[in-house]
Amino acid sequence: MILHGLAFSEYQPQPWLVFLHGFSGDNREWQHVGDALSDFPRVYLDLPGHGASAHIGVASFDELDALLRTTLERYNIRRYWLVGYSLGGRVAMYHACQHPAGLCGLVVEGGHPGLTSADDRAQRLHNDQQWATRFRQQPLSEVFDAWYRQPVFATLSDTARAELVALRSQNNGLTLAAMLEATSLACQPDLRAALRALSVPVHYLYGEHDSKFQALATQVSRHCHAIPAAGHNAHRDNPAAVIAALARILRLETKDTL
């Protein structure tokens, strides 16, 4: 028998885990980690300019946040945690600070909460514009070899660097450049105060060898988690430890919500 005109609500016992990759990554970046958390429904997004979203462009964090909201609505994701690495972590923090309905919590890995001085913003904008020019004009293998020699990636071995260069060189340099400019740290507001005021839990992961983001972690959250044997890209360096950390966080934060 078919009943017409009756409203219903979909019961989803666990919140979704929405994974956001870093600059030059794609939806595959988090899948090994996410698939180990099989008690939760999971979605892995391609950010604009990346992967299957390479044809999509945004001009600002506001536009990117609107696109994220539209995507969540399209897939009927009403209760969710955001898990973001680096650029994905910055996107997640910005989204959380807009107080969206349905957000249950936030896990950031190696994401910057924002620059605090005009001089730092000007310097970062200059640096990112230079990188964007290189992404537009030079072979990606050359650009990424230089990219992964920046101080934040100092813990990479020659082999690990070569693997990342080969992987990231599959991208489109033009769309990466546009995304880099649109989401430059110079264009991101300082989110520290807004993050402290959030009513949802915020957890921060950092690699134990990533001294820069270890120092930033306590400016983002009271809940900081060091990932052993890892640098800036902790979920790539030590996925088992990140899986264990996420499992503990979710067990703690969702036990009273079911």
Burial label for 200, CB within 10 Å (0-12, 13-18, 19+), is middle
Judged by average pLDDT, the poorest of 13-17, 85-89, 156-160, 187-191 is 13-17
Three-state DSSP string of 73-131: HHCCCCCEEEEEECHHHHHHHHHHCCCCCCEEEEEEECCCCCCCCHHHHHHHHHHHHHH
Residue 125, domain member (yes or no): no
- Domain span including residue 80: 16-115+188-254
Could you tell me the pTM of the whole model? 0.93
Q: What is the pLDDT of residues 37-48, one digit of tens each?
A: 999 999 999 999
CATH code (residue 222): 3.40.50.1820
Residue 46, domain member (yes or no): yes
| Domains: count for the chain | 1
Residue 245, domain member (yes or no): yes
Q: What is the pLDDT of residues 81-117, one digit of tens each?
A: 999 999 999 999 999 999 999 999 999 999 999 999 9
Residue 98, domain member (yes or no): yes
Residue 128, domain member (yes or no): no
Residue 240, domain member (yes or no): yes
Residue 78, domain member (yes or no): yes
Residue 155, domain member (yes or no): no
